[in-house]
Amino acid sequence: MMSDKAYRGIYYDEPHVQAEFERLVQRIRDAERDRAPLAERQRTAAREAESGAISDKQFQSADAAFIAANNAIAAAQRAVDAFLQANKNYKTS
């Protein structure tokens, strides 16, 4: 999955536009940070479900949280991409 790394080196000369861009990219970082413990929980739940230690319903709960976290990352990335489309006067370093 693409992360905020895809947006490194992009910058705007206008401070207010740059600030908005950075705010949107930070949403990606925040969503990725929030997903990390959910990813571990989902992996653990998958192992436990395979061994019969937890129910399918318990696994589905962990899996749904992980999927929601992935969706939050994707939404944040779409917001950055839309911003870049609307503000095409960016530069790269």
Q: What's 67's domain CATH number?
A: 1.10.287
Which range of residues forms the domain containing residue 70?
Answer: 13-84
Asked if the structure places residue 91 within a domain, the reply is no
What's this model's pTM, rounded to 2 decimal places? 0.89
Q: Is 23 helix (H, G, I), strand (E, B) or coil?
A: helix
First to last CA, the chain: 23
Q: How many domains does the chain divide into?
A: 1
Low-confidence residues of the chain: pLDDT under 70: 1-2
Q: How many residues does the chain have?
A: 93
pLDDT tens string 54-71: 999 999 999 999 999 999
Asked if the structure places residue 1 within a domain, the reply is no
Asked if the structure places residue 89 within a domain, the reply is no
Instruction: Give the DSSP H or E segment for 92.
Output: strand 91-92
